[in-house]
Amino acid sequence: MASNRIGRINEEIQRELSSLFRTLKDPRVQGGMVTITHVDTTTDLRYCRVFVSVLDKTQEKDVIRGLKSAAGYLRRELGMAMSLRYTPELQFTADDSIEYGAHILEMLRDPTKVKPANPANEHIVLDGEEE
């Protein structure tokens, strides 16, 4: 029952934050295309980790710094928009799951590009690979 509530709160926080991101005037945040990929709130609603993905990876650190500096403003606005007893403290983390997923898809498409993680397995020949 509580996990359903936390899930709904996570979705609501994600929705509200994405609309609040558009109001930020920090050039570090405005410059990169920022997407909230996942929100994870603790069960006591004290902390909320927000996973963001940035289109331009060269700006990722600047965007995260900009979001961290705007965390107080975002928390206050989130508290006014949502009716929670506690407004969670926002912690922003870069998310590379989209990039990782693309890497896995590339490995599945062309297994000859895959190098064994363990050097002891180098003798194994993959399909489509010549000895």
Q: Selecting from 3.30.300.20, 3.40.50.2300, 3.30.420.40, 1.20.120.1200, what CATH number does the domain 2-116 have?
A: 3.30.300.20
Q: Provide the 8-state DSSP code for 122.
A: T
Counting residues of the chain whose pLDDT is more than 70, the rounded percentage is 85
Amino acid identity of residue 70, one-letter, is A
Counting residues of the chain whose pLDDT is more than 90, the rounded percentage is 48
Average predicted confidence (pLDDT) for the chain: 86
Q: What is the pLDDT of residues 8-36, one digit of tens each?
A: 999 999 999 999 998 889 888 887 788 99
* pTM for the full predicted model: 0.77
Identify the CA nearest to 80 among candidates 23, 25, 34: 23
Please give the Cα distance from 85 to 24 (Å, whole number): 25
